[in-house]
């Protein structure tokens, strides 16, 4: 097992106050039921950002909490890496808005786009920056306002997602704690199974795009489900292999929170019992790249992650992208 290069020294989350339950979909004309949503996904409710709550504002709340716990001032940050599929503006990055909001004047700030796997990608990039001496202290955030890109008329997708942000401070490791292994993969051949067809540079926003709603998320749910289970299982295996650990060495598994059935299948594959798997998809829905850092922060707060806990994280998302990481806390 390698000696950790980078360690998590603080965590935080930024969650909109407004909760939307499964029962609330009837009021917006969606033909669904609480029973269907729970049975197929495990989701009971999700938080939805209101006017004035942005990807940057949720990220700032998460970042401030993480900085406070880490006793790190904004001026000490060498970099801010923000993973998002819902940038507040397409130019510039949301990370620079966050930098301005925090007053982190010394930081290099940039966004990473790898959909639901984005935060693990961002963590791996941050670890590399610390390894090469480019940075000592990095804020790594996942922040998503999924409610801004889902089609609120498509019952197959709109019931699944939620908004929120999670953040950690990553710093050069001084002890045996930190990132033990990481793994990333992508397959762009499958991009059109989960995507926003229009609204970018190839097919810019137009009256037709708005009319046809092609700027909103389209998902082939059943196909995505199959790939998610296969790829997250592979990612879990690879992170364990690289760290020379087995499922029995893992104190807690934190999978991307998209669907409780995907989570159960992935845990089973790695022989990790469900009582060692963190699940909050019932309360948050799928918050894309924010799901893992939100779960880490909750697990720290509840004492589920303790001093010395070995935690396996695994994610899958649009692209397709998939990734995993093992951290000793
Ligand atoms: O973040 C990473 C990427 N995302 C994911 O990992 C999501 C992956 N996919 C899934 O989680 C599941 O595929 C879903 C939860 C999206 C759907 O579950 P499913 O068991 O695969 O259902 P399905 O899409 O095959 O749909 C089954 C039926 C369909 O009706 P018919 O064709 O069987 O008559 C749908 O029209 O359920 C219907 N349906 C709904 N019914 C009530 C679809 N959405 C709804 C709904 N309420 N909201």
* pLDDT value of position 81: 98
Catalytic residue among 47, 116, 215, 259: 116
Phi, psi of 323 (to 5 degrees): -165, 160
- Average pLDDT for residues 85-89, to the nearest whole number? 98
Q: Is the CB of 316 under 6 A from ligand 1?
A: yes
Render pLDDT for 96-112 as a digit per residue (tens, 0 to 9). Answer: 999 999 999 999 999 99
308 pLDDT more than 80: yes
Distance from residue 27's CA to the centre of ligand 1 (Å)? 20
Instruction: Determine whether 256 is an active site residue.
Output: yes
- Residue by residue, DSSP assigns 174-238 as -SS-EEEEEEEEE-GGGGGGEE--SSSSSS---HHHHHHTTTS-EE-HHHHHHHHHHHHHHHHHH
Q: Provide the pLDDT confidence category of residue 3 given band limits of 50, 70 and 90.
A: confident
Render pLDDT for 176-224 as a digit per residue (tens, 0 to 9). Answer: 999 999 999 999 999 999 999 999 999 999 999 999 999 999 999 999 9
Helix axes 291-301, 118-131, angle to 10 degrees: 80
* pLDDT value of position 1: 62
Contact 11, 305 (CB under 8 A): no
Instruction: Determine whether 116 is an active site residue.
Output: yes
Helix, strand, coil in percent for the chain, rounding step 5:
40, 25, 35
Q: Which of 222, 227, 291, 317 to mutate to test the pocket of ligand 1 (most atoms within 8 A of CB)?
A: 222
Distance from residue 156's CA to the centre of ligand 1 (Å)? 5
54 pLDDT more than 80: yes
Render pLDDT for 147-157 as a digit per residue (tens, 0 to 9). Answer: 999 999 999 99
The superfamily CATH assigns to domain 180-328 is Thiolase/Chalcone synthase (3.40.47.10)
CA distances 77 to 70, 144, 315, Å, are 12, 22, 26
Q: Is the CB of 221 under 6 A from ligand 1?
A: yes
The rounded mean pLDDT for the chain is 97
Percent share of the chain, pLDDT over 90: 98
* pLDDT value of position 192: 97
Closest ligand 1 atom, residue 116 Cα: 1
**Which DSSP helix (H) or strand (E) runs through 118?**
helix 118-131
Contact 185, 323 (CB under 8 A): yes
Domain ranges of the chain: 6-176, 180-328
Q: Is the CB of 302 under 6 A from ligand 1?
A: no
Percent share of the chain, pLDDT over 70: 99
Q: Provide the pLDDT confidence category of residue 90 given band limits of 50, 70 and 90.
A: very high
* pLDDT value of position 159: 98
Considering only the top CATH level, what class is 6-176? alpha beta
* pLDDT value of position 72: 98
How far is residue 100's CA from residue 108's CA, in Å, rounded to a whole number? 11
Q: Is the CB of 225 under 6 A from ligand 1?
A: yes
Distance from residue 203's CA to the centre of ligand 1 (Å)? 28
Distance from residue 322's CA to the centre of ligand 1 (Å)? 21
Distance from residue 41's CA to the centre of ligand 1 (Å)? 8
Report the candidate in 221, 225, 232 with the shortest Cα–Cα distance to residue 185: 232
Q: Strand ranges (DSSP E) for the chain?
A: 6-14, 19-21, 45-47, 79-83, 108-112, 137-145, 163-172, 178-186, 194-195, 218-219, 252-255, 310-317, 321-328
Render pLDDT for 40-52 as a digit per residue (tens, 0 to 9). Answer: 999 999 999 999 9
306 pLDDT more than 70: yes
Instruction: Determine whether 286 is an active site residue.
Output: yes
How far is residue 59's CA from residue 94's CA, in Å, rounded to a whole number? 9
Report the candidate in 42, 43, 51 with the shortest Cα–Cα distance to residue 24: 43
| pTM (two decimals) | 0.97
């Amino acid at each position: 097992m390698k000696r950790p290069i980078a360690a998590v020294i603080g965590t935080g989350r930024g969650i909109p106050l407004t909760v939307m339950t499964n029962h609330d979909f009837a009021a917006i004309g969606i033909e669904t039921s609480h029973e269907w949503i729970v049975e197929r996904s495990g989701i009971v409710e999700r938080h939805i950002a209101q006017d004035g709550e942005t990807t940057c504002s949720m990220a700032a709340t998460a970042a401030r909490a993480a900085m406070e716990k880490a006793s790190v001032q904004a001026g000490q940050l060498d970099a801010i890496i923000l993973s998002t599929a819902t940038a507040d503006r397409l130019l510039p990055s949301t990370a620079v808005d966050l930098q301005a909001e925090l007053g982190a004047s010394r930081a290099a700030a940039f966004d990473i786009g790898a959909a639901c796997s984005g935060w693990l990608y961002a963590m791996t990039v941050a670890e590399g920056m610390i390894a090469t001496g480019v940075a000592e202290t990095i804020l790594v955030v996942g922040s998503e306002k999924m409610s801004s890109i889902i089609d609120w008329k498509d019952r197959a997708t709109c019931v699944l997602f939620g908004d929120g942000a999670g953040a950690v401070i990553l710093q050069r490791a001084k002890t045996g704690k930190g990132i033990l292994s990481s793994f990333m993969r992508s397959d762009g051949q499958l991009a059109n199974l989960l995507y926003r067809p229009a609204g970018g540079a190839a097919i810019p926003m137009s009256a037709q795009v708005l009319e046809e709603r092609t700027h909103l998320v389209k998902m082939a749910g059943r196909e995505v489900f199959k790939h998610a289970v296969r790829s997250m299982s592979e990612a879990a295996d690879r992170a364990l292999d690289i760290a020379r650990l087995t499922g029995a060495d893992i104190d807690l598994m934190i999978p991307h929170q998209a669907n409780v059935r995907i989570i159960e299948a992935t845990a089973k594959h790695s022989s990790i019992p469900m009582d060692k798997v963190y699940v909050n998809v019932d309360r948050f829905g799928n918050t894309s790249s924010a799901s893992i850092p939100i779960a880490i922060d909750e697990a720290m707060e509840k004492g589920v992650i303790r001093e010395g806990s070995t935690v396996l994280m695994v994610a899958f998302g649009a692209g397709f992208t998939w990734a995993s990481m093992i951290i000793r806390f």
